[in-house]
Chains A and B, each alone.
Chain A
Amino acid sequence: MKHIDEFRNERYIGVLVSQINEVSRKIKKEVKLMEVCGTHTMAIARSGLKKTLPENVRLISGPGCPVCVSPNSYIDTAISISELKDIRVATFGDMYRVPSGNRSLEKQAADGAKIDIVYSPLDALKIAEEKPCQEIVFLGVGFETTAPLTARVIQYAKNKGIKNFRVLSGHRLIPPAMQTLVKDLNHEIHGFICPGHVSAIIGSVPYRIFPEKYGIPCVISGFEVIDILHSILMLLEMISGEKKTSVVIQYKRCVEEKGNPEALKIMREIFDVVDAEWRGIGLIESSGLAIGKRYRELDATYIFSTKPLYRHDPKGCLCGEILKGIKKPSDCKLFGKLCTPEHPVGPCMVSSEGTCAAYYSYER
Chain B
Amino acid sequence: MLHIIAMKDEKIFLAHGAGGKQTRVLIESLILKYFNDSLLKSLPDAAVVSIPSDSERICFTTDSFVVKPLFFPGGDIGKLAICGTINDLAVSGAKPAYISCSLIIEEGFSIQYLEKILKSMAKAARKSCVRVVTGDTKVVEKGKCDGIFITTSGIGIKRYQVPSGLQDIKPGDAIILSGVPGMHELAVVCSRENLNFDMTLKSDCAAIDGLIDGVLRVSNRIRFMRDPTRGGLAACLNEIASGCNFGLKIYEDKIPMTEQVRSICEILGFDVINLACEGRVVMIVDCEDAERIVSVMRKHPLGTRAEIIGRVSCECSGRVILQTIHGFERFIRMPSGKQLPRIC
Contacts and interface: CB of A to CB of B under 8 A. Distances in A.
Nearest to B338: A352
A10 B327 contact: yes
Contacts of A364: 331
A179 to B, nearest CB: 29
Interface string A308-323: 0000000000000000
Given A47-B330, A48-B330, A8 B325 contact: yes
B114 to A, nearest CB: 26
B328 interface: yes
Interface string A332-362: 0000000011100000000010000000111
Contacts of A225: 326
Interface stretch (B39-47, B145-153, B259-267, B279-287): B259-267
Contact of B193 (A51, A52, A119, A341): A119
B252 to A, nearest CB: 10
B200 interface: no
A13 interface: yes
Interface string A29-61: 000000000000000011111011000000000
B333 A362 contact: yes
B324 interface: yes
A48 B338 contact: no
Interface in B290-343: 324-331, 333, 336-338
Contacts of B329: 48, 51
Contact of A48 (B271, B324, B336): B324
Contact of A360 (B269, B326, B333): B333
Given A1-B259, A1-B266, A340 B336 contact: yes
A97 B337 contact: yes
Contacts of A47: 324, 326, 328, 330
Contacts of A1: 259, 262-263, 266
A48 B328 contact: yes
B266 A362 contact: no
Contacts of B193: 119
Interface size of A as a range: 20 to 34
A48 B193 CA distance: 32
B326 A341 contact: no
A228 to B, nearest CB: 11
B325 A363 contact: no
A15 to B, nearest CB: 13
A4 interface: yes
Nearest to B271: A46
Contact of B336 (A4, A51, A119, A341): A341
Contacts of A360: 333
Contact of A10 (B259, B269, B326, B336): B326
A1 B265 CA distance: 11
B334 to A, nearest CB: 9
Contacts of B324: 46-48
A21 to B, nearest CB: 15
Interface in B237-279: 259, 262-263, 266, 269, 271
A232 to B, nearest CB: 14
A42 to B, nearest CB: 9
Contacts of A363: 330-331
Nearest to A97: B337
Contacts of B326: 8, 10, 13, 47-49, 225
B328 A49 contact: yes
Given A1-B259, A8-B325, A362 B337 contact: no
Interface of A: 1, 4, 8, 10, 13, 45-49, 51-52, 93, 97, 119, 225, 340-342, 352, 360-364
14 contacts: A1-B263, A1-B266, A45-B330, A46-B330, A47-B324, A47-B326, A48-B326, A49-B328, A340-B336, A341-B337, A342-B336, A352-B269, A361-B331, A363-B331
